[in-house]
Amino acid sequence: MQNNEEEKQSKNKESSLKGLSFAYRISSELLAAMVVSVIIGLTLDKFFDSKPIGLITLIILGFFAGLLNIYRLIRRIENSK
Amino acid sequence: MAKGESPLKQFEIQPLVELNLFGQNISFTNSSLWMTITTIFILAFFTIPFLKSKKTNSVEDLYPSRLQVAAEMGFNFINNLITDTAGKEGRKYFPLVFSLFMFILFGNLFGMIPYSFTFTSHIIVTFGLALGVFIFVTVLGFIKHGLKFFSFFVIPGLPIYMLPLLIPIEVISYLSRPISLAVRLFANMLAGHTLLKVFAGFVSALGFFGILPLVFIVALTGLEILIAFLQAYVFAILTCLYINDALHLH
């Protein structure tokens, strides 16, 4: 009985750890895509002297790129199950 | 932790030997010291058990020593990882993945020793490693596929009018790889170590009730050791996946 309980607890702990690392991965994917797109946007604006337009378009694209990254991550995890 | 010390003080870089080269500061810092210790430890870990077994010719030599078993376990772990994710062609790149994994793993683990320094908690270190992987994978893709490598950014079976929208997205997604790789390791290490120090500050501040955060710190240290392993594993597995992408394109 006690053994069972312990097993349950360790299993719970494991799944919450997995969730934590999963959350870190997802947030870092979204952040990274945003950082890259903002850098590209600002450089494009500096190059063509078109202050907000490049940044705005690249932020929108970067958001979608981040979502694409997350979608691929989740699909990979689903496939490995 | 002394009173009034910031929990972020543990991440400070202190030059141990001041060095200057052509106006560039290349001092030997505490960060470099711990990188050197890590490298020497890894070298020792993988040479000592194999040096010993050659000395005599008795039957006992047929049994591997405990150290040797530990070293071979690490070897097998990464070997299986590469074969599972990148296939047989990926085995050629075993040295890269293995040294990355070992360097990050022991760097993280040595960071858990009190008064030591965690070099993986500096984004420039993790970004340097990630950028190395990124450049390697890109060059590998170009060597293997030539200009066909650019077809990596085009999803097959897509209507042509979608391409102008999706190629930039794919390119951004590709360029974001090294940053997400670097940020993940760095953020995990920074957050964990800061949390440990913050709770350590509570212990002395709460007096008798400081025993509660103390218990928490013990649990948190265990968690941190697990995260140290997990992050090295994630770094290695993503390197394998990127190699797989470069070798096979889609």
Domains: count for chain A: 1
Q: Which domain holds residue A15?
A: 2-80
Is position B27 within any domain?
A: no
- Does residue A22 belong to the interface with chain B, where contact is any CB pair within 8 Å? no
Question: What is the pLDDT, as a whole number, of residue B1?
Answer: 44
Question: What is the pLDDT, as a whole number, of residue B86?
Answer: 84
Question: What is the pLDDT, as a whole number, of residue B136?
Answer: 94
Is position B236 within any domain?
A: yes
- Between B49 and A32, the more confident residue is A32
- Between B20 and A30, the more confident residue is A30
The pLDDT > 90 percentage for chain B reads: 25
Asked if residue B245 has pLDDT above 80, the reply is yes
- Does residue B155 belong to the interface with chain A, where contact is any CB pair within 8 Å? no
Is position B38 within any domain?
A: no
Give the gap in angstroms from C-alpha B86 to the nearest C-alpha of chain A.
14
Is position B14 within any domain?
A: no
- pTM of structure: 0.83
pLDDT digits (tens, 9 = 90+) for B132-178: 999 999 999 999 888 888 888 887 777 888 888 888 888 898 999 99
pLDDT digits (tens, 9 = 90+) for A48-77: 888 888 899 899 999 999 998 898 888 877
Is position B29 within any domain?
A: no
For chain B, the DSSP string reads --TT--TTGGG---EEE--EETTEE--EEHHHHHHHHHHHHHHHHHHHHHHHTTS--SGGGGSPPHHHHHHHHHHHHHHHHHHHHHTGGGGGGHHHHHHHHHHHHHHHHHHTSTT---GGGSHHHHHHHHHHHHHHHHHHHHHHHGGGGGGGGS-TT--GGGHHHHHHHHHHHHHHHHHHHHHHHHHHHHHHHHHHHHHHHHHHHSGGGGHHHHHHHHHHHHHHHHHHHHHHHHHHHHHHHHHHHHHH--
Is position B31 within any domain?
A: no
Name chain A contacts of B223, Cβ cutoff 8 Å: 17
Is position B141 within any domain?
A: yes
pLDDT digits (tens, 9 = 90+) for B191-240: 888 988 888 888 888 878 888 888 888 988 998 998 899 899 989 988 99
Question: What is the pLDDT, as a whole number, of residue B54?
Answer: 56
Domains: count for chain B: 1
Q: Which domain holds residue B243?
A: 65-248
State the number of CA atoms in the 13 A half-sphere of B76 facing the CB: 6
Which tokens is B70 given? 């530990």
The pLDDT > 70 percentage for chain A reads: 77
B179 with A66: Cβ contact below 8 A: no
Chain A with chain B: Cβ pairs closer than 8 A = 57
**Cα B64–Cα B66–Cα B70 angle in degrees, nearest 5:** 100
- Stretch B82-92: mean pLDDT: 86
Asked if residue B182 has pLDDT above 50, the reply is yes
- Does residue B238 belong to the interface with chain A, where contact is any CB pair within 8 Å? no
Name chain A contacts of B169, Cβ cutoff 8 Å: 61, 64-65, 68
